[in-house]
Amino acid sequence: MQCAMLHVRLGTRRVLALALFASAVIRSTSLPACAARSDGEPSRHVMPTPFAGGDLEEPGVMEAALKARAPNKELVFLSVGDTRDHRRMNKDPALRTISMDFLLNLLANFKTLGIEHHLILTTKKLCKKVLQAEHCMYNCAWTSLWHERTDDLKRWSLKEGDMFLMWAQQWRYIARAVEMGHRVLRTDTDVYFAEDPYPILSGPLFGQYAMVVQQDFGGPLGGRPTCKPSNGGGPGGSCGLHKGTPLLDIGPVYVFTRTLTLSPIPTPTLSLTPTRHVPAQHRAGLRAL
């Protein structure tokens, strides 16, 4: 938390000046014509512009990335680590080649839906040599965040580009994007979108929540939440306290943070039940790759 406060204290004017500088530098970079290609089909979403890439820790780069990739303050944030990560190779060796397939498939999935406002946090090598050079995708960035903590990284056997590191780095940048007034959909690459989620996430039912996250349930966590017909259609839709142990699965997360006035919702009489013990395997949870 303190680091975030320090960042804020950098001063708005200084950040703005650096952003303008970085933006000018990036605009002057010559990008191939393919970087601006479009399938021409109209979309409900504002189309982003190509981003030449950069270290998000460099002054102004984060601001420039958001300006290019999230023109309507709406951002899909993806992170893809270095597939040489020995843990990933041992756990699921096919990921050495399939991991990038999944990213490309998700991007194609989004493109079909007219959603192209994404930013991919990855390594400089994957950004420049794969996404940009091989696929003409100017939608990625890298970071040197916390790389100076060499003793800490060594103690935990972490290398730059490891997913364990990148999973934390991504939240640093998502928090920054939210601070800057953006709405962020973060998703793993093993998620498929059968329809555009935004009309639902901003619709009457879910538009009132600051954050929407997948739920993990099953086994000792308890079953799916339920509403009895007798109270499920009640005012406000509250069905009383949930008896299971809800856990966040952060594979898909949508953050729409805003100040809410918590309005009263009439509810039936609630029965109080103790929180259940959660076995270790469920507390940790798997992470997508």
Minimum Å gap between C-beta 261 and another protein is 9
Q: Is residue 25 close enough to count as binding another protein by CB under 8 A?
A: no
8 A C-beta contact, residue 196 and residue 113: yes
The smaller minimum CB distance to another protein, of residues 52 and 256, is found at: 256
Q: Is residue 288 close enough to count as binding another protein by CB under 8 A?
A: yes
Interface residues for another protein in 77-96 (CB under 8 A)?
Answer: 87, 92, 94-95
8 A C-beta contact, residue 213 and residue 191: no
Q: List the Cα angle 268/244/286 in 5-degree steps.
A: 145
Total chain residues near another protein (CB under 8 A)? 121
| Rounded Cα–Cα distance for residues 241 and 225 (Å) | 10
Minimum Å gap between C-beta 103 and another protein is 12
| Rounded Cα–Cα distance for residues 148 and 152 (Å) | 9
Interface residues for another protein in 213-232 (CB under 8 A)?
Answer: 213-219, 223-227, 232
Q: Which of 15, 25, 136, 247 binds another protein (CB under 8 A)?
A: 247
**Bridge partner residues of 75 (DSSP):** 184
Instruction: Name which of 241, 235, 230, 232 is nearest 266 in CA terms.
Output: 235
8 A C-beta contact, residue 216 and residue 282: yes
Q: Is residue 109 close enough to count as binding another protein by CB under 8 A?
A: yes
The smaller minimum CB distance to another protein, of residues 25 and 95, is found at: 95
Longest Cα–Cα distance of the chain, Å, equals 65
The smaller minimum CB distance to another protein, of residues 27 and 235, is found at: 235
Interface residues for another protein in 35-54 (CB under 8 A)?
Answer: 41-44
Q: Which of 47, 125, 133, 246 binds another protein (CB under 8 A)?
A: 246
Q: Is residue 211 close enough to count as binding another protein by CB under 8 A?
A: yes
Q: Is residue 249 close enough to count as binding another protein by CB under 8 A?
A: yes
Q: Is residue 238 close enough to count as binding another protein by CB under 8 A?
A: yes
Instruction: Name which of 148, 289, 154, 281 is nearest 220 in CA terms.
Output: 281
| Rounded Cα–Cα distance for residues 254 and 233 (Å) | 26
Interface residues for another protein in 130-189 (CB under 8 A)?
Answer: 146, 149, 152-153, 155-158, 164-165, 167-172, 174-175, 178-179, 181, 187-188
| Rounded Cα–Cα distance for residues 211 and 100 (Å) | 28
